[in-house]
Amino acid sequence: MTAPAVLAALASPRRQEILRLIWSEERTAGAIHRAMPDVTFGAVSLQLRSLTEAGLAESRAEGRHRFYRARREALGPLGRMLEQMWDDALWRLKLAAELEHTRRGPRPRRRTVKARKG
């Protein structure tokens, strides 16, 4: 629940993937796992714990199932940013374009060619 913890939680692509799945509807841990078959159930469970501890997800138990959902309120403006990121492909392009003018370029090419021993 410390400030960087929220950002750290969002930093992992895996956790973002999960957050996206539970963004607009709650899902059971199993359903989430089924949506990402390249990883173990245990791994998903651990990430769900991270998200919960960071305050980005919450869960409710029902029988032997546990339903998870995102805590969108806890994210504030960040939530809207994520939504944009997800369904607005332009976001990436815009950022990339903005970067162009800053880039230090592909190896500025040294001007003074000093003698090398050997």
CA distance 56 to 8: 11
Contact pick of 19, 51, 54, 59 for DNA (by CB under 7 A):
59
Pick from DNA, a copy of itself, none: which does 89 bind, CB < 5 to 8 A by kind?
A: none
Q: Is 76 left (phi over 0), alpha (psi -120 to 50) or beta?
A: left
Measure the N-to-C terminal CA separation of the chain; round to a whole number of Å. Answer: 56
Rule CB under 8 A: which of 50-109 touch a copy of itself? Answer: 52, 55, 58-59, 71, 73-74, 76-78, 80-81, 85, 91-92, 95-96, 98-99, 102, 104
Pick from DNA, a copy of itself, none: which does 106 bind, CB < 5 to 8 A by kind?
A: none
